[in-house]
Structure 1
Amino acid sequence: MRLTTIAAALALAATPALAQTYPDHPITMVVPFAAGGPTDTIARVTAASMQKALGQQIIIENAVGAGGTIGSARVARAAPDGYTLLIHHVGLSTAATLYRKLPYDTKTAFIPLGLVTESPQTIIARPDFGPNTLKELIDYIKANGTKVTYAHAGLGAASQLCGMLLQTAIQTQITTVPYKGNGPIMNDLLGKQVDMTCDQATNTTGPITSKQVKAYAVTTKTRMSTFPDLPTADEAGLKGFEISVWHGVYAPKGTPPEVVKKLSDAIVAAMKDPDLAKRFHDITTDPVAPERATPEVHQTMLISEIDRWAPIIKAAGQYAD
């Protein structure tokens, strides 16, 4: 018997044993963004709840750089044994087009394990900006075009994607101003150095509540419980305009089905955890419904978002490499 045949047979024999004992040591969850940011916070809350179901510690590792692609590549190369996972947001789907030379195929390099959050974004402006409603804002942008300045946190950031979608929806170009993070954006918005932005509610809730910024709309199908009087973009005149910052957990391609099931079951259990719900609520997001925290729903979301964003990014001609 050839050595390769023997190795393959041994691998097949080891798979059931791995599934039976998994997990027998700590799991690493890679966050492809800096510690302290929204994705890092969501990862730590999710990991803490998944640990209860798995009976093993989940260690968070921040692998930062290239819009999240460095951390994603780290997981794509990892052993498919369930001990190295990735948590990422909508940026994983847009990176498939934003980066023309990715070291992995986004559609096939990972096994989606389940969604964990779908957070709204809010369209906001400096407090003294003229328009008072979303319709007035759209009319103002169409009349002034590139005189309007829009701040975002870099290519692939949620704020940049929202701005790109907005320009596509109203067929008007504005001047985009890239920043290195959300903190500087908010400082300059409050300081009236830029006109507007669109960002995750986790970052904008405080300034909206304190009336430091002017809020126009949320970008999801339903209104936020935090701001029940703030209309959705669709209600306010941008028909069909929708973008959420969804997060999901992934394993490398080739992870055994039995291990995938244990991990996906742990995600579903986490979505039912009252502790997780409370901690998510504190950062202005909510867990997805348990029936959406499945590999099937997650896989469909990933592929549909890759296909949705590809023509928008190509039309804008904005690439990260």
Structure 2
Amino acid sequence: MKHWTLAAAASLTALTGTAWAYPDKPVTIVVPFTAGGPTDKVARDFAEVLRKQLGGQSVVIENVGGAGGTLGAAKVAKSAPDGYTLLLHHIGMATSPALYRKMAYDTKADFEYLGLINEVPMTLVGRSTLPASNWAELRKWIDANKGKINLANAGLGAASHLCGLLFQQSMGVDMTTVPYKGTAPAMTDLLGGQVDIMCDQTTNTTQQIESGKVKAFAVTTPKRLTTPALSKLPTLDESGLKGFNVTIWHGLYAPKGTPKPVLDKLNAALKSAIKDADFIKRQEALGADIIEDSRTGPAEHKKFVEAEIAKWGPVIKAAGQYAD
């Protein structure tokens, strides 16, 4: 009994010591996309405020792009479960299981869910020369030009790709999908009039809408947005596409098996970080909304992602657009 007690005490001391000392070296947040994109921007802003909540310990961003975010996610899933390698991922966490026939990880089983950080609304925009200036006119134009419409996106699995899929299915119209290698070239061709419409994040469209370089027709959230440039836009739901709701959210994850005391410390740090006034201001500038509900906690975060997997799986399957 004495030996068991000593062993148990040593184990408890080791675990408590790990949590108490954590973090005693830099924490790495893996972003599964290249530097400079919307998710990278969110991650870098978040890393700065997370650092403050972790006693000033360095929080480093590592970009591991490729395969629609699955390479970076796989790296974290296979990392040591010690709290020093984390993943910041967007909606791709929920859509990859349907988009990719083979993945090196299991979205539901190989991660500890820490909490959601923000949500980014999306807008339906069109080229400036489009012969429609509002949603009603756009819908008539779409009906009159079936089979002739070009719908741009930033590549397989991108936010614009997912929104475009749901938009076509909700409208009951097939469009010619034009995939690009990123948002920048897709937007460049929309500005140049080479493609007709695109559904993309406010982080990528607000400036173009404000300058009048593209026409804006609707937002993808259940409620209208409060951003001055977008406040007059109707929602697709109120415009007749009932239940239409697409936001690009970002969440934080750790490898499965990370000690609970470390997870608790990270979750507490996350909840404090997203209340930071500086962080909120930066996110508002990107058109993003900070999560203020129970999804900032592990259980509700995972429940939400599971619901998103169930939502997007049939949409992707119906479109038949997969990656090998």
**TM-score interval w.r.t. the shorter chain?**
over 0.9
Partner residue, 2:30: 30
**Residue aligning to 1:239:** 242
3-state secondary structure, aligned to 1:259: helix
**C-alpha displacement at 1:190, in angstroms?**
1.1
* 1:182-261 alignment runs, 5 A limit: 182-226=183-227, 227-261=230-264
> What secondary structure sits across from 2:119 in the alignment?
strand
Alpha-carbon contact 2:219-2:235 (below 8 Å) kept: yes
Looking at structure 2, the residues matched to 195 and 11 of structure 1 have their Cα atoms a distance apart, in angstroms, of 62
Q: Tell me: CA distance 1:260–1:314, structure 2 relative to 1, closer, same or farther (3 Å).
A: same
- In 2, the alpha carbon distance for the partners of 1:114 and 1:199 equals 24
Compute the displacement of 1:47 (Å).
1.0
Paired residues of 2:218 and 2:236 also in contact (CA < 8 A): yes
Partners of 1:108 and 1:145 in 2: how far apart?
43
Match of 1:255, SS state, is coil
Aligned counterparts of 1:36 and 1:224: Cα–Cα separation in 2: 25
Go from structure 1 to structure 2 and tell me whether the alpha carbon gap of 1:215 and 1:179 turns closer, same or farther (over 3 Å shift): same
The one-letter code matched in structure 2 to 1:248 is G
Please report how far the alpha carbon of residue 13 of structure 1 lies from its aligned counterpart in structure 2 after TM superposition.
5.9
Give TM-score scaled by structure 1 length.
0.94
Displacement of 1:21: 1.2
Q: Distance in 1 between matches of 2:311 and 2:184?
A: 29
Equivalent residue pairs, number: 315
How many Å separate the matches in 2 of 1:130 and 1:298?
42
Q: Give the 5 Å matches for 1:19-98.
A: 19-55=19-55, 56-98=57-99
Consecutive unaligned residues in structure 2, runs of 5 or more: 1-6
Give the aligned residue type for 1:232: T
Which residue of the partner structure matches residue 275 of structure 2?
272
What letter is aligned with 1:49? V
Alignment CA distance shift 1:8-1:138 (3 Å): farther
Matched residue type, 2:47: A
Q: Identical aligned pairs, as a percentage?
A: 53
Counterparts of 1:253 and 1:9, CA distance in 2: 24
Please tell me whether the aligned partners of residues 134 and 237 of structure 1 are also in contact (alpha carbons under 8 angstroms): no
Identify the range of structure 1 (307-316 vs 220-229) with the bigger mean alpha-carbon deviation: 220-229
Cα deviation for residue 318 of structure 1 reads: 0.5
User: Is the contact made by 1:280 and 1:286 (CA closer than 8 Å) also made in structure 2?
Assistant: yes
Matching residue of 2:317: 314
- C-alpha displacement at 1:271, in angstroms? 1.4
Change in 2 beyond 3 A, CA 1:9/1:108: farther
C-alpha RMSD of matched pairs (Å): 1.7
CA distance in 1, matches of 2:12, 2:151: 54
The CA deviation at 1:311 is 0.9
* Counterpart residue number, 2:3: none
CA contact (8 A) 2:295 2:304 kept: no
Distance 1:19 1:317, change over 3 A: same
Give the deviation of 1:109 after TM superposition.
1.1
- Aligned-partner SS, 2:264: helix
Write the deviation string for residues 33-59 of structure 1: whole angstroms up to 9, x where unpaired.
111110000001111111111111110
Greater shift after overlay, 244-253 or 226-235? 226-235
Q: TM-score, normalised by structure 2?
A: 0.93
Checking the alignment, whether the CA contact within 8 Å between 1:141 and 1:174 is kept in structure 2 is no
CA contact (8 A) 1:150 1:194 kept: yes
Residue 4 of structure 1 is matched in structure 2 by none
Q: Does 1:299 align with 2:302?
A: yes
Distance 2:215 2:62 in 1: 36
